[in-house]
Amino acid sequence: MKLRSLLVAGLALLAPTASSSQALENSTTTYYNPVLSGWHSDPSCTQVNGTFFCATSTFITFPGLPIYASRDLINWKLASHAWNRESQLPGLSRRTTGQQDGMYAPTLRYRDGVFLVICEYLLASATTGVVFRSRDPFRDAAWADPVVFAPDRIDPDLFWDDDDDGRTYAATQGVALQELDLATGALSQPPASLWNGTGGEWPEGPHLYARDGWRYLLIAEGGTALGHSVTMARAWNVTGPYEPCERNPVLTNRGTGEYFQTVGHADLFRDADGAWWGVALATRSGPAFETYPMGRETVLFPVTWDEGEWPVMQPVRGRMELDGLGRALPPPDRDGVPGDGPFNADPDVYDFDTEGANLPRNLIHWRVPRPDAFAITAAAGLRVVPSRNNLTGVPLSDATTPELTGQRGLSFVGRRQTDTLFVFSVDLTFRPREVGQEAGVTVFLTQVNHIDLGVALLPPQQSNDSNSPCQIGATSQLMVWFRAEGTGTPPAPRTVPVPADWLDGDKGGIRLQIEAANATHYLLSAMPAADPKAQVLVGVAPAALVSGGNGSFVGGLVGVYATCNGAGAGDECPEGGDAYFKRWRYTGKGQYISETTVV
């Protein structure tokens, strides 16, 4: 405990000096960004009968394409996932090799009583366009199998031109326009070139809007890093010619010292009173762009759009003020949102004590998991059957051992890190029989960016950290094992023998904990579940390890895993390595909304 106190005190010196302020309650004229904290990139939103709905990118994770619902633009409940069954896109996840392949940049729209999500699943070898439909966005099962189409480019928009018999169009990166048959997936050829932006790289993320006789085209430019921006053009006809806005870029934080950077990939929508709003992705990194473990998050900004004019978008900041704009947020309303999913900003309190229950909706996997790899048992909690590949495996390759690449499913499940400061912990019951069997907790960005604290059966090692190690035979010893890899230089691995009295099943097993004590470092600790005061700080790791690098499009997850570290054959590990987790807790402790302000 003394060591932990000294380290926490030392880490506090590394963090910015933060002024504390209370979260805004019941205010309709001031709010904090991000409104969807944690990794929620490429947002697209619509409003139906006073309820707002948003979808975001999920890349390789499953279930994918979350649909969030809100009555007040601030409290967002996870309603469903459009891609929630492997049978909707059979085999596609197993063919995914890249760490940032998968579902790119959805567009969410509503028409004639139906919600539609159009997206593209990107692989190194091909791109598959998908359109999911549902009449009930609060049920996973209501999302039908997708209509599949064959696009040449990413980031599809969905637009109906009601001045031209309601023709349906898909606009994609570039910007290219094609008619899309929503029944068959057929695309008109050749694509029509609309507008290539103002000269910034990667003109992408197009959205079309019809207003006052004009067709407005909004796109992202400059890449999704510090040069990111939003630009617009308009035409009297959907096929052009398009004239650019003289104020381009209409939204950006590039070239500034703002804490919120990478602002771009926006979408615009109206509330029930007709007022316009916008969402975009942003990164809480400051211009240094070094530490941003939550990746690209969703921010909200007010928009003024007068008749016949260009929209005026308010700059993205951590604290947004609506006074003087002649508008307000809808009144706070959590109870008016149906469905049984969690609100994004709420803590996790999961005991996994209902036999056969489904996993909580906000828990996700890295690719589609193997069948029966996860199950909830009333007596023992969440059972995780280990995968041969550990969290790294052999990523970025599908060569000779696909069972070790992660393509057949990592035995990992996690939730988004949604707070700058948080504590995450679980209680683990684990009785490994073979050397190399391991289970634990992780801060996970990709298979080459993660910070792990596991309990593993390892060959005996010398250690001064315990007088009573748990010895299993003459050739193995149960250890708490800290290790990390990622962007920059990782800390040295460390092992600490597990005291024998920690394994008493009647006392609840071993509690593993991850704490973000400041904006730059994680503390990883172990303790007996029955005596948290006996906590041992095993490792400290910089959040920069899980910022950018091979995960520049995604964001940090915290969760649990089990592996046999390559032992076994085919997809199967040696027997005896199943891990059981109970008392899953995630509690947010604070959000940085500027370099110096925590709320």
Active-site positions read 42, 204
Helix (H) or strand (E) holding 483: strand 477-485
Compute CA distances 8 → 28, 112, 466, 515, 523, whole Å.
Answer: 37, 56, 22, 10, 8
Q: Check: CB of residue 262 under 8 Å from CB of residue 224.
A: yes
Residue 167: Cβ-neighbour burial (10 angstroms; 0-12, 13-18, 19+): middle
Q: Check: CB of residue 544 under 8 Å from CB of residue 557.
A: no
What is the Cα Rg of the chain in Å? 24
Q: Check: CB of residue 89 under 8 Å from CB of residue 83.
A: yes
Pairing of strands 19-20, 597-598: parallel
The sheet that has 157-161: what strands, in order across it? 157-161, 167-172, 176-179, 192-193
Tokens of 261: 């950077």
Give phi and psi for 239, each to the nearest 5.
-90, 0
Q: How far apart are CA 453 and CA 462, in angstroms?
A: 19
The sheet that has 276-284: what strands, in order across it? 260-270, 276-284, 296-304, 312-313
Paired with 485 in beta bridges are 450
Tokens of 573: 């590990």
Q: How far apart are CA 265 and CA 298, in angstroms?
A: 10
Helices (H), 347-495: none
Amino acid present at 196: N
The DSSP secondary structure of 38-97, one letter per residue, reads SS--S-EEEEETTEEEEE---BTEESEEEEEEESSSSS-EEEEEEE--GGGSTTTGGG--
Tokens of 506: 């009647």
- By residue count, the chain amounts to 599
Tokens of 12: 């506090």
Paired with 366 in beta bridges are 61
The sheet that has 147-149: what strands, in order across it? 102-111, 114-122, 127-134, 147-149
Q: How far apart are CA 576 and CA 396, in angstroms?
A: 29
